[in-house]
Amino acid sequence: MAVLALSITPAQPSYAHGALWNPISRAAACAPDNERYSDSPACVAAQNATPGGALDAWDNLRRKDVNGDHRSAVPDGQLCGAGLEAYRGLNLPRKDWPATHLHEGSLHTFKFLATIPHKGRFTLYITKDDYDPMEPLRWSDLESEPFADVTDPELIDSAYQFESRLPSGKKGRHVIFTIWENTTLPDTYYFCSDILFWGGRDTLSERPSPGAATKGIGVAVGGRPTPSTPTPKSTRPVTPQAQSSPTALASVARVPGDGQGRMAVVLAGMLTTAAAAVVLVLSFFIWRQSRRRA
């Protein structure tokens, strides 16, 4: 596993940094050195639309002095980029953003990776049933009430973690919009996490093993990310028809721990092996019969 070493630089005490990691946010998924997701068509497009390498600082989507007036701070169509011009690539309306597979109505452990920890309030909203991923995300696309509202959750393994039940009745592709308000600082963070819902289930959603979801990025608490990629992906071409290609949608990166995906691969391998064995046995039987007749 390749790991991006994050250097520990002197951090200004007035700052906190982080990003939602489970379910993974667009900013964290498209960090240039996140090997699991950053080469996906949507992330490459985001890099191309965000010149200057802003996504190297994937944990810095913050606004100052919002004071709870989120709609004024972040305009419609710019929610995923926190209303910041440097992160406008995260606002692209697409159907193929890397998505976390979850079960509607189930409990889920949310993990907010804190590169510079600081306590605060996390408020999570989900998109409405008629959400269209091919339209820029607006405030009116979100349910009016948050499905999770947590203050000062526990910091475990470099991440703020808390359990909450996902909304019931959701199907297909949605977005979880997270607002992180630092309780002792003037900073407010905004993140979009793309979701693909399975059917309902009452047990806990499948969780990645510790550290698995952070493949390609290492974290040193108290340190700021330092880019190590010599050439940002903003110089790479976007795959034609990436927004509407069925193959692009089918190849959306899944969060590690997706048992259904792994089982499908195992079953496919078993069926292929069985078919080869049947062909071999039949070939041997036909050869034996031809020898007897001769």
Of 224 and 120, the structure prediction assigns the larger pLDDT to 120
Are both 7 and 140 inside the same structural domain? Answer: yes
Are both 91 and 12 inside the same structural domain? Answer: yes
Q: How many domains does the chain have?
A: 2
- The pLDDT value recorded for residue 249 is 26
Ranges 132-146, 167-181, 230-244, 256-270: which has the least confidence: 230-244
- The pLDDT value recorded for residue 269 is 65
What is the domain extent for residue 264? 258-294
Q: Is the pLDDT of residue 51 over 90?
A: no
SS3 per-residue string spanning the chain: CCEECCCCCCCCCCCCEEEEEECEEHHHHCCCCCCCCCCCHHHHHHHHCCCCCHHHCCCCCEEECCCCCHHHHCCCCCCCCCCCHHHHHHHCCCCCCCCEEEECCCEEEEEEEEEECCCEEEEEEEECCCCCCCCCCCHHHECCCCCEEEECCEEECCEEEEEEECCCCCCEEEEEEEEEEECCCCEEEEEEEEEEEECCCCCCCCCCCCCHHHCEECCCCCCCCCCCCCCCHHHCCCCCCCCCCHHHHHCCCCCCCCHHHHHHHHHHHHHHHHHHHHHHHHHHHHHHHHHHHC
Q: What CATH code is carried by the domain that includes residue 124?
A: 2.70.50.50
Are both 270 and 246 inside the same structural domain? Answer: no
Are both 194 and 266 inside the same structural domain? Answer: no
Q: Is the pLDDT of residue 246 over 80?
A: no
Q: What value does the mean pLDDT take over residues 61-68?
A: 91
Are both 128 and 70 inside the same structural domain? Answer: yes
Are both 157 and 262 inside the same structural domain? Answer: no
